[in-house]
Chain A
Amino acid sequence: MSAQAPTSDLFRSERMRRRRIVNWIVEGAATLAALLAVAVLVIVVGSVVSRGWHAINLDFFTKSQALYSGFGPRPASGIENAIIGTLIIIGIALLMALPVAILTAIYLNELAPRKLASVLTLAFDVLNGIPAIVLGIFVFIFVVVGHGQAAWKASFALAILMVPMIARSTQEVLALVPISMREASLALGAAKWRTTLSVVLPQAVGGIVTGATLATARAAGETAPLLFTTALYDNSVHTDPRQPLASIPMFIFTSAEQADPVLHEQAWGAAAVLIGIILIASLIARWFADKSVRRLKGER
């Protein structure tokens, strides 16, 4: 500051100085907190990648888990069965969740009386907050006890988790579709169902894709619903969802509990694959979300 700067008593006062110092400390702390959160992300992802790197090779994707007796050379081992299992489990969960979620969003946004819609939305929001392990226990009681584990039962548990997420994001995009489009369609003589399905819904495809991708990414990493529904699998590649299938999260969970350092390395490798899948899915979802919202808001 130059010598001519205004130096009133107000600026020099002890009280003002203290207020500024407090402000400065809080601003510093807030910046530090944000840095800390980013640092944690970098440390976690960094240790997964750096430790999992060595495990990832061609065998890792094309071979199943090999049992090792402890003698002789170690057979090449991978997570092919877990990758295929996860894809099947998630695929079926998506098939179960998607129609229910889209129909739900249509009802809540286009057809339901407002009061009823808010009660039903509340139910989905509360359902969304039920711990995954409780969903796992529910599916265990409902379809596993007395019938045995199966991959589709895990899909069922994951679908319960996915429906509220997909329905919510579809609903948010449906709400952005201009009401004049519905009015125009109705005025041209189209029935309400026709208007909803062929005028309103196509506008919301971006939101549906975003919600479905995010829900898939979240479900792909969930372990709790798999514990009681598809944990008792063997170490070869299966594709039949009527029997328990291996999955990447279960592989990580069980390998982490072992004392074998080679299994730990494989668990890190599997974690790197899982995080990779989830990151890519999240990026795709973000891109779709930006695109569709921008289009609906008319700023190309």
Chain B
Amino acid sequence: MAVAQERARGPAALQRRGRFRPGDAVLYVVTCAAALTGVVLLALITREVFVEAWPAMQKFGLHFLTTQAWGDNNKTLFGAKSFIFGTVVTSLGALLIATPVSLAIALFLTELAPRWIRHVVAPLIELLAAIPSVVLGLWGILVLGPFITGTLGPALHGTFGWLPIFASKPTVGSNMFAAILILTIMIIPIVSSICRELFVGVPSELKDGALALGATRWEVVRGVIFPYARAGIAAALILGLGRALGEAIAVTQVIGNNVAIHADLFKPGDTLASRIAGQYQGADTALQVASLVYLAVILLVFSLIANLAAQLIVRRVAGRHQIR
């Protein structure tokens, strides 16, 4: 009993009594310093970004968030409104498509697929996550874009043209819809692999019990698996959202980089991350640099909130499982 308790406290609890060992102190200090880099970098990144954005924050204040402009009035007026709009629309749009697909993939892999298919398909879907965003962006410009203008766009416009989001026929391949599709492809592997782990963790007694009561597989999923994994699914979706918010390269390649707010998804737009990436060849004035970093501040705040929320949910769920 005492040994079990001792072991439950982990390797850190193993202590030798006896004389002081200088080597232990050195190891402790060196590794502790390394482990602090996470906190230090978080603080440093936040501080540097806020300091650099300060001139723009002073000049525009919170009006920056509600101003739709980039370099207007002879490069004196900057605002993030259209980029925030673009970020929200593209990442929520991607999440909207990716959520059912990811859940379905995770269910297929845990509940339906025979073992050998599982061992083939699961790594393939993880490989999808390994495709670099710049390659996905290249594919987006040269393959997906023409497909949207040529086939998919006219079809969607023809069928759902009464919806404001498909109000026009796409004239260029670079538009918000392309960005949504690319982001969807990027977050599906992330969300589905987390959900798969969650579903595997559902105790089989619960599933077997429901099956024994005569529930169909779908009823088991809806009545047992989803409620059991609810918090974890929420965390997975927030992590996916965080990824979609922050993706710069693939989005800047396909979204058309336009300072505009349209309900119509077939029009070009821009996101926070994409606007930053698009300005890499140099900003002309100090104010423009500060405004660019102001965009990074907004993005940083968004992603810090999203990730912190997701991680706290994950920890709560993991804690609950440990107790059982």
Contacts and interface: CB of A to CB of B under 8 A. Distances in A.
Do the two chains belong together in a single complex? yes
Interface of A: 19-20, 22-23, 26-27, 29-34, 36-38, 40-41, 44-45, 47-48, 51, 99-101, 103-104, 106-114, 117-118, 120, 122-135, 137-138, 141-142, 145, 160, 163-164, 174, 179, 182-183, 186, 191-194, 196-197, 200, 217-218, 220-224, 227-228, 231, 249, 252-253, 256-257, 264, 267-268, 271, 274-275, 278-279, 282, 286
Contacts of B102: 33
A204 to B, nearest CB: 12
Given A37-B124, A112-B32, 6 more contacts: A103-B35, A106-B27, A130-B45, A141-B293, A191-B24, A267-B138
Given A33-B105, A111-B27, A231-B280, A133 B315 contact: no
B273 interface: yes
A186 B137 CA distance: 54
9 contacts: A32-B104, A33-B108, A34-B109, A40-B128, A103-B33, A109-B11, A123-B38, A138-B48, A163-B37
B38 A124 contact: yes
8 nearest A-B pairs in the assembled complex, by CB-CB distance = A131-B246, A221-B132, A129-B307, A103-B34, A33-B104, A107-B31, A123-B38, A133-B248
B245 interface: yes
Interface string B238-259: 0100110111110001000000
Contact of A275 (B14, B51, B135): B135
A252 B134 contact: yes
Given A20-B216, A108-B35, A274 B27 contact: no
Given A37-B128, A103-B30, A221-B134, A26 B300 contact: no
B121 interface: yes
Contact of B132 (A37, A186, A223): A223
Contacts of A231: 280-281
Contact of B130 (A128, A145, A218, A249): A218
Contact of B31 (A31, A104, A286): A104
Nearest to A121: B38
Given A30-B105, A192-B21, A252-B138, A23 B276 contact: no
A194 to B, nearest CB: 7
Nearest to A33: B104
B108 A130 contact: no
Interface string B36-61: 11110110110011011000000000
Interface stretch (B66-74, B139-147, B161-169, B200-208): B139-147
A177 to B, nearest CB: 8
B8 to A, nearest CB: 10
Contacts of A257: 253
A114 B322 CA distance: 14
B35 A107 contact: yes
Contacts of B299: 131, 133-134
Nearest to A120: B35
B183 interface: no
Contacts of B14: 179, 182-183, 186, 192
B2 interface: no
Interface string B293-324: 10010011001101110110001000000000
Given A27-B218, A126-B311, A114 B9 contact: yes
B86 to A, nearest CB: 14
A130 B300 contact: yes
A127 B35 contact: no
A19 B142 CA distance: 45
Contacts of B141: 256
A239 B214 CA distance: 68
The DSSP consensus for interface residues of chain B is helix
A134 B246 CA distance: 8
Given A41-B127, A112-B32, A130-B304, A122 B311 contact: yes
Given A34-B108, A141-B52, A278 B130 contact: yes
A179 B142 CA distance: 54
A111 B307 CA distance: 26
B125 interface: yes
B246 A31 contact: no
Contacts of A45: 131
B96 interface: no
Contacts of B217: 23, 26-27
A191 B303 CA distance: 43
A282 B200 CA distance: 23
Contact of A182 (B11, B33, B315): B11
Contact of A197 (B27, B51, B247): B27
Contacts of A33: 100-102, 104-105, 108
Interface string B206-242: 0000000000111101000000000000000001001
A125 B307 contact: yes
A192 B27 contact: yes
Interface string B1-40: 0000001011110111000010110111011111111110
Contact of B101 (A37, A38, A267): A37
